């Protein structure tokens, strides 16, 4: 009879401990996901921002490479330099007229 009481007490204790562990785990999970300073939502946002900055970095690297190539072309070829000045700065010779054609969006 005494053994039966002990096993029932042990079952009650283990059941109580299991419930406490589950409740503690759920509370810990909620804290980490939503209330902590480095919570799940903030990490997701930071990861998204990191991806955007990486894309921007790659775009700017390509643009720098293209600009360096264009600068090199302008330094070496006078025809390219004249074409660039005419297109970008609307420069012209004394006896020329410039017509600007803009595309309608």
Q: What is the pLDDT of residues 60-96, one digit of tens each?
A: 999 999 999 989 988 888 888 888 888 888 888 888 8
What DSSP string describes 53-101? Answer: HHHHHHHHHHHHHHHHHHHHHHHH-HHHHHHHHHHHH----TT------
- Mean local confidence (pLDDT), 34-45: 82
- Looking at per-residue pLDDT, the higher value among 21 and 87 belongs to 21
């Amino acid at each position: 009879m005494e053994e039966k009481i002990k096993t029932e007490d042990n079952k009650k204790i283990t059941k109580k401990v299991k419930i406490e562990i589950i409740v503690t785990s759920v509370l810990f999970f909620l804290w980490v996901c939503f209330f902590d300073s480095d919570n799940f939502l903030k990490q997701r946002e930071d990861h998204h921002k990191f991806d955007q900055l990486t894309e921007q970095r790659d775009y700017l690297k390509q643009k720098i490479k293209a600009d360096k190539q264009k600068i090199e072309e302008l330094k070496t070829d006078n025809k390219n330099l004249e074409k660039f000045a005419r297109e970008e700065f609307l420069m012209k010779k004394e006896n020329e007229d410039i017509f600007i054609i803009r595309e309608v969006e």
